[in-house]
Structure 1
Amino acid sequence: MGLLALAAWTLVRTALRPVDALTREAAGISLLETGCSLPAVPGDDEIARLARTLNDMLARLRDAAARERAFVDDASHELRTPIAVLRGELELALAADRDHEVRHSLRAALAEAERLSRLADDLLLLARDRAGSLVVRTEPVDLLDLAAAEGRRLGTLHGLRVEVSGDPVVIDADPERLGRILANLAGNSATAGASALRIHIGRGPDGTTLQVADDGPGFPPEMLTAAFARFARGDDARTRGAHGAGLGLSIVRAVVTAHGGTVTAANGGPLSGAVVTTRLPRSGAPLQVRGAQGQLEDEP
């Protein structure tokens, strides 16, 4: 009886081995891995038909995800022109009209138009990042000089005390995109109620570190693991008076990834608030994505 039970168990295990393989492969597949599929099972039995059905389902899901990304890309791109026209008309009206109430309304409308413009740009950037088509132009950039210049500008803009320190490091990067990283992080800190910002540039054997720390309340514990997700918003303590869409940190991650780097979020640091640490490759290291002519596509 024991030998019979062992033989039956062995037979069942052998028969279900393809199912186990399909399960392991399916668990590791992401929609972003557009070329991945489940292993084909030979024959025409139930398991073989299950494998073919699952592969057909994965193909449909990939097609749907591609259409979604294309839609967001196209919609964001098409929005930019009418929003730019709207901003221009509002600026002209604001310059010409002298009535106080009208000017107040025009300023409010212009602020909303500028917010829509930033949102359309952000959605376009994220759509390209998700599709793997985000490109950066590169040139030698002195990261310490760039941080000092951006620090002065952002300190005045957001009412922050900004301290910049570290080593002079030249890397191959897109200075506009790196400026966008600092702008997003400074804006987040100001929105959270921080009064001081510390930007530190470090140089190591494996690359360059750009650390931005503030004296605000820090990230909520539940947000630390999802800080860079799209549309992630913290609680009221971290987003006091905020009207953003929760795209700032996801933009930071997209830009850093396009430069071949990594980014992490934490609490504590030199000012006991939020700390965002970016690690960028050394000068001359290959980027993840480059444009054919080294230029940004469809950028104003």
Structure 2
Amino acid sequence: MSVSNTDYIGRFAPSPSGPLHLGSLLTAVASYLDARAKHGKWLLRLEDIDPPREQEGAANLIINSLIAHGLKWDGDILWQSQRSKHYDTALNQLLNNQRAYYCSCSRAQLNSTGGIHPESCLQAFTPGDAAIRLKIEQHNVEFVDRVQGPQCFQSKNIGDPVLKRRDGLYAYQLAVVVDDAEQEITDIVRGVDLLDATAWQIHLQEALSLQTIRYLHLPVIVGDDGHKLSKQSFAPAIDDQTAKTNLLQVLRYLGQTPPPAELNIAELLQWATQHWRTDHIPSQTALSLQSS
């Protein structure tokens, strides 16, 4: 199903594993401007389904940072930790349709087969001490990313993603697809590090008979070591006291025309919305960290 600009619904969906850093602010700003430029909605979702990785107080820090940077979302915040019933409903549908299966393969076993599951595992649709995986149908996934261009993923090479972990926690791939459908998301703007996961998510959308989504994958900011800025690599938190400076820096990364210097934060975002150009976003996958 195609979507039109008039019903644009975007979202920003951070995990509360730490405060926002410059890379996550870039994603927040880009997704916000893309939605507002199309007179659409911009929703906020907190992906708090992995308690071992969460940092106490991080959710509030994220919310406060968005407010400090003038990024106002529409509606209520969606908390994934409150949506277990929705994920179970989707899992049961997939299991009943034999589009998902219980898998007890170890990581070492999967590494030995290049991540591709043996036929014996695929035929054993029985519960137990196991994860639940999506059974990938044997057809390629093709889509046109709004920045990265045409994409093609061969299903035989991508493996079957985990939907529910052996420890009982729901996996990102399941939660994000179910929640995007529930919130009627039409457009996803996120980092290019999630580009490969898009193939899994499109397969899952098809398995659940869900709407097609447009994708825009942004280059990620990398440090001096060449690794993406992330909470796991201890990227420094953004300083909410320098919100305007942070926004100007992010706009430079996104290749946007710099706004007049005298604008305040609200005026800056309004100006940036009016001058938003996705064709100016760099199409490479990585951007070097620059001084502000």
TM-score by length of 1: 0.21
Look at both structures and tell me which one has the larger radius of gyration over its CA atoms.
1
Q: Which has the higher helix share?
A: 1
